[in-house]
A and B are shown apart, each in its own frame.
Chain A
Amino acid sequence: MKIRLGLAVAVVFAAFAHSLPVLAQFQAPTQEELQMTSEPKAPGASAIYLYREEVDDDTLHFESYYARIKVLTEKGKELATVNIPYSRRNYTITDIKARTIHPDGTIYPLDVKPSDLVEEKSKDFQVNKMVFTLPNVGVGSILEYRWQLRYDDQWDVPPDWDVQGPYFVRKSHYSFKPSRDIESVTDGNGNALGKLLYSSMLPPNEQVNLDKLSRKYTLEVADMPAIPNEDYMPPMNTLKAQVIFYYSAYFNKDEYWQHTGSKWSKEMNAFADESKGLKQAVSQLIAPTDSEEVKARKLYDAVMALDNTDFTREKSKAEMKSEHIKPAKDADDVWTHKSGSSDEIALLYLAMLRIAGIKSYAAVVSNRNRVVFNSYFMSMGQFDDVLVLATIDGKEIALDPGAKFSPFGELDWRHAMTAAMRQSDKGVEFSNTAGIPYKQAVTSRIADITIAKDGSVAGTVRISMAGPAALQWRHRAIRNDEDEVKKQFNEYLKGILPDGVQGDFDHFLALEDYHSQLMGIAKISGSLGTTTGKRVFLPGEFFDSHAKLPFVAEEKREMPVDMQYSEAVVDDVTYHLPDGFTVESAPPDAKIPWASYAALGTKSKVDKSTVVLTRTFIRGFSMLAAKDYPALRDFYQKVAAADQQQLVLEQAAVASAKN
């Protein structure tokens, strides 16, 4: 489905007399709806929405919801139970009506009182779920229900219309009547939000309409497909069809981002302001004769050594009070406390770089695992973590001091190849961070294995990692003790070693030394080969020999492929042969290129008593458009086939008899 993105300024009119809320009435189903067993536009669907309606009214302070659902398979019956989460302190749910209609037209009304259940409750907030389940639901049933959510008069709640969801929708209708006194709408701080805007991500033929007389914004959508469900999908938050309304102080998105960005930048600068204490600290950490890079690295190491509470734990108010410390209000406090959140530490680093005379800016990124940034959606909530952009020897580099143990100049993969809002010479602007080159994300797996005549093996495995893989293990080591990390490493080994071979983790090297490659060393034993009367067969691809490669099986693709980061995996496996065996056949050397995207190369080197098998897998991309999927699948299928090669050993007596 093609989606068109737009942002519009909603037109606000003077208040008109308003009418009482009108609830969507239950509709008599058509014969086609009663008898249908599938939806040609959603083949295989377990259920579809025949109709969905959401009416939002900020003049009367309510939202009403109405749905008519056709159950097509047993799985579709799960829609018979309706859960409505809501904030108990601000809203009430009323007027719940529901009924089931059988294919023969018989109607079964809901006659059990819905249950208002606590989901989470504290002194400060309470989230409840209103739950009801429809009676007498079977395959072929039509489920029909409606409810109203009401909120206090002092609240104005512009709606988010989730036009696309997990089920196909034949027809939907949305309407929104904004506050009749829009000029008095304010945010929580009393700032005026007197303009109404909306962002829409809709199919090309659909648009939000305004009825000037009733002041209603409406949207009619037909045949909306379900959100695809595929492996390796990017976050769908801004990619699905939706409309979001805003009461805003601004006329358009550019104005919004300009003002919001400016405010953000001031906050960054205020937190990263220099202080006497910081100046003194910087002067002790660096020497005037240090180059810019040396200064930047020294300061980086200094802030990296602080307690990053996003990886350990944030002190409670009671502890801070007991220790006579206050929440950090600026970088100086972070340095004094020797502790801070990722963002606070990043801003401390920014402050120190500036004191050291290195041109530096703050940037805030959308974390790739959570959100795909879209400037049409006017929310700073799209941004997550703070980076520092430093110009060293005339070249600007992105630094990630908030990502504990991230080496100088390398980004946590969630912060790479993603949108950023940044400070610059020209003010605040949008930009993108660079991707992680595969050369920065190399995993090297070395195995040295001695094979016995019966196919049993013993040896060692050394796995060294750089880039995101190393960072992930180092983060685990902060959040867990070393014993636990060892257990997790053993579980990881279980996933990459062949069936029948066990790994027993021995030790890590450089677990906390983020300047170096991380290495894990394990002993291995077990049964690797299969034997016949005169031969032993060993896998040509020792690592991942039983792992499933992605994309091999799935023929079609709708969404882009998101593989987080590019990487290279280099395997070097040495088999020491048993006495009396020779190599009858070794895996042939192979090269499988996929120009500009990926490559696999394998080589085998046979010596008298050893065989060395090397395999280099390079994936130079992290995101890929769906149109490139056939080529991607073709590549992975070839890799899967190449990885099936075997090493064949033959008993020497047999071999000499042949000669």
Chain B
Amino acid sequence: MKASCWWIALSAVVLLPEMSFAGIFGKKAPVPQWGLDAYKTKTPDYAHDANAVILYDEYVETIDAQGRTVEREREAIRILKPQGRGNTCAVGHDEDEKINYFRAWTIGADEKQYQAQDTDFVDVGDTDIPIMLSTYKVKVAHPPAIDVGAVVICESEEVMQPYIQEKDWQVQQGIPVVFEALEIDLPPGKAHFEAWHGAGSAKAVEVSPNHWRWEMRDVHPLDLRDIPSHPEWSALAMRMSVQWGDAAVDGKDNEWKAIGAWVTKLESGRPEPTPEIATRVQTLIAGAPDFYTKLSRITGSIQNEIRYFIVLRGIGGLQAHYAGDIYRNRYGDCKDKTTLLISMLQVAGIRAYYMPVDSRRGVVDPDDPSLLGNHMITAIEIPADVQDTRLQAVVKARDGKRYLIFDPTNERTPAGDLPAYEQGGYGLLAAGDASQVMQLPILTPDASGAERVGEFKLTADGLLTGSVETTRMGDEGGDVRQTLKQEDQKELHDGLERSLGQDIPGVSLIGFKYDEPKDLDKPVKLHYELSAQQYARQAGPLLLVRPRVVGSDVLPSDNKTRTVPIDLEATGHWHDSYDIALPEGYAVDEMPDPVNLEMDFASYHSSVTSKGKTLHYERDYKVKEVELPSGRAQDFRKLESTILTDEKSTVVLKRQ
């Protein structure tokens, strides 16, 4: 199921739970020759660990003179393991697409052949997400006898959406692919351009006039299951995009420019302000002393007043509603929120543009121009004379113009800031002829993070009582605001208690209070009081105390050989300062050594000191990058092991 508010998808083998069957394209026919040939393919050695293997997968895109595409897919999948039985074929379709036929067969492990009947197909709607209205459906084939050793063979033909002039080919899958191919059959004189993402590529062969074919063999699966701190699967998997519409132009910059121009045209007129919008904006910006104030009042109003609700209906998966409708109904999805923002900024005399992105960092690839993505944000042009340090998420276009990148769908991140999951990714500035792909900014560590200050009292029986004040700013503060929005009081209490329980088993949360300022650029504070029996462990005359009382900064890591990049999640600055008043009759016998680790992508400093009857723990942690190449795995491990060791470190108190 998709949860995207701007949507261009890749087709893939689907793994679905068992369900009942139905369909309409079960014409009686024998297994076609290509299917019989595919069935004879031996399972390669590299596939033996997989649940299933794709023996054959071929797409043929036939484009008519009007640019309408008919897609034929032929696919054969061998089931290798019991848990692979859910692998089958599926055809996604929206209200402006049509499935001409969809047939499926199975050749069982005993070589018997079966054809799927009407009752073996089911249409599954996109209705799982309560805040979404989607007309998209997936027709899934469940032919008989899908068991270990069987081969599922499917053939389908679908008339695609008339406005899409590209094919995004998912070359790499979660299971191995022995052979796959893509063909595009273009009208005479129609150009095409291709681009690849990930490791690997193939050259096109012209099999007949302006009919092109790419073939790939032995594509290994991308399995990230046991790899800690990995980037998104879709950011790493190999794929190819081919353009044959206006974006079929030479040079990647030109392709991006053409795609951006298409998006500009698609959304043209949508942001047109209505009198109601104009009135609202004038009210909002009245008396605003500067650009930032004007901007943040408008962004804040959209963030606060426009409820997030996704509408995907045919081209509505890409095209926004009109600003007037969005404003009147006070709801919309990412492209709607961007539309209303552009509209309101236009009234305020600020230029802004659509920017398609993907919320999964790394999916949009500057070397692979396409519409592929799942989200829409806003690029706001900053006037040349405006210099304001609050505008942090700023990028510069080729023409020297500066743009503030802002995500109006994220209701908790203030203007000037950018959610961590978007930082470092790429987006398409859809600004007509000035369209271009841009890297989204990576903010400095001080733009986000947390400060935890705790004061505790320890008694000789190990009881720890005290309070903690946590101040979260930037994107991290936004995350807390989101939690406060989504959870009721009981859920907040239980969640906090659970979180503390991971650091201190047996902890009791005595009370808590959030302070959430209305202004999004102000930090969110949390004050709580706790009590933990036997926090300090008695060991004969010793009392063992962990000075890092609450909060963990460790990311998952392991010692295995690393081939994929490391996702550090977010830049930020985290600082902890805890004072623990020691019990009478005890003195410090031993303390952990200070920790000082400086790396180019992160720094970690920690120290424990004792002054009088108080133990003081202080640590400072900064992350400066959002992703590291796989070659830096050793450094990443060193950082994580340093943090883990420090978090577990113990102070030894001795009875006097």
Chain A positions within 8 Å of B, measured between CB atoms, are: 43-46, 73-75, 77-78, 80-81, 83, 112, 115, 117-125, 129, 131, 133, 135-138, 229, 312-313, 315-319, 322, 478-481, 483-484, 487, 490, 499-500, 502, 526-527, 530, 532-535, 537, 546, 548-549, 552-555, 584-588, 637, 640-646, 648
Contact with A along B512-552 (1 / 0, CB 8 A): 00000000000000000000011101111010100000000
Q: Do A553 and B329 touch across chains, with their CB atoms under 8 A apart?
A: no
Q: Do A640 and B539 touch across chains, with their CB atoms under 8 A apart?
A: no
CA distance A230 to B554 in the complex (A): 29
Q: Do B490 and A44 touch across chains, with their CB atoms under 8 A apart?
A: yes
Q: Nearest-CB distance from A163 to chain B (Å)?
A: 21
Of A527, A534, A549, which contacts B590 at CB under 8 A? A534
Task: List 6 additional A-B contacts (Cβ < 8 Å) besides A135-B328, A645-B537.
Answer: A45-B488, A121-B125, A122-B119, A480-B81, A586-B539, A644-B534
Q: Nearest-CB distance from A389 to chain B (Å)?
A: 31
Of A478, A502, A554, which contacts B82 at CB under 8 A? A478
Chain B positions within 8 Å of A, measured between CB atoms, are: 19-24, 49, 51, 81-83, 85, 108, 112, 114, 117-127, 130-131, 133-135, 137, 144-147, 225-226, 305, 307, 309, 313, 328-331, 462, 484-490, 494, 497-498, 500-502, 505-509, 533-535, 537-540, 542, 544, 554, 558-559, 590-593, 641, 644-645, 648-650, 652
Q: Do B505 and A552 touch across chains, with their CB atoms under 8 A apart?
A: yes
Q: A121-B123, A131-B133 are in contact. Are A75 and B485 (CB under 8 A)?
A: yes
**Which 5 residue pairs across A and B have the least CB separation, nearest first?**
A122-B22, A44-B489, A585-B539, A640-B506, A553-B497
CA distance A188 to B641 in the complex (A): 66
CA distance A642 to B542 in the complex (A): 16
Q: A123-B119, A499-B648 are in contact. Are A43 and B489 (CB under 8 A)?
A: yes
Of A74, A119, A322, which contacts B125 at CB under 8 A? A119
Q: Do A123 and B22 touch across chains, with their CB atoms under 8 A apart?
A: yes
By a CB distance below 8 angstroms, the chain A residues around B534 are 641-642, 644
Q: A122-B121, A138-B305 are in contact. Are A480 and B82 (CB under 8 A)?
A: yes
Q: 8 interchain pairs (CB within 8 A)?
A: A115-B135, A121-B22, A123-B22, A138-B305, A318-B144, A319-B145, A553-B507, A648-B539
Of A137, A138, A532, A548, which contacts B502 at CB under 8 A? A548
- For B540, give the chain A residue with the smallest CB separation: A585
Q: Quick one: which of A45, A313, A316, A483 has the most chain B CB within 10 A?
A: A316
CA distance A111 to B346 in the complex (A): 27
Q: Quick one: which of A125, A317, A502, A554 has the most chain B CB within 10 A?
A: A554
CA distance A120 to B81 in the complex (A): 28
Q: A322-B112, A646-B539 are in contact. Are A118 and B137 (CB under 8 A)?
A: yes
By a CB distance below 8 angstroms, the chain A residues around B307 are 77, 80, 137-138
By a CB distance below 8 angstroms, the chain B residues around A643 are 505
CA distance A586 to B20 in the complex (A): 59
CA distance A3 to B487 in the complex (A): 28
By a CB distance below 8 angstroms, the chain B residues around A125 are 20, 22
CA distance A587 to B539 in the complex (A): 7
- For B496, give the chain A residue with the smallest CB separation: A553
CA distance A229 to B494 in the complex (A): 11
Of B119, B488, B652, which contacts A532 at CB under 8 A? B652
Q: Quick one: which of B22, B500, B505, B544 has the most chain A CB within 10 A?
A: B505
- For A115, give the chain B residue with the smallest CB separation: B133
By a CB distance below 8 angstroms, the chain A residues around B114 are 316, 318-319, 322
By a CB distance below 8 angstroms, the chain B residues around A122 are 20-23, 119, 121-123
Of B123, B505, B650, which contacts A118 at CB under 8 A? B123
Q: Do B590 and A535 touch across chains, with their CB atoms under 8 A apart?
A: yes
- For A502, give the chain B residue with the smallest CB separation: B558
By a CB distance below 8 angstroms, the chain A residues around B49 are 483
- For B325, give the chain A residue with the smallest CB separation: A112
Q: Do A118 and B330 touch across chains, with their CB atoms under 8 A apart?
A: no
Q: Nearest-CB distance from A37 to chain B (Å)?
A: 13
- For A537, give the chain B residue with the smallest CB separation: B650
Q: Nearest-CB distance from A199 to chain B (Å)?
A: 30
Q: Do B489 and A554 touch across chains, with their CB atoms under 8 A apart?
A: no
By a CB distance below 8 angstroms, the chain A residues around B535 are 644
- For B308, give the chain A residue with the smallest CB separation: A77
- For B552, give the chain A residue with the smallest CB separation: A499
Q: Nearest-CB distance from B149 to chain A (Å)?
A: 12
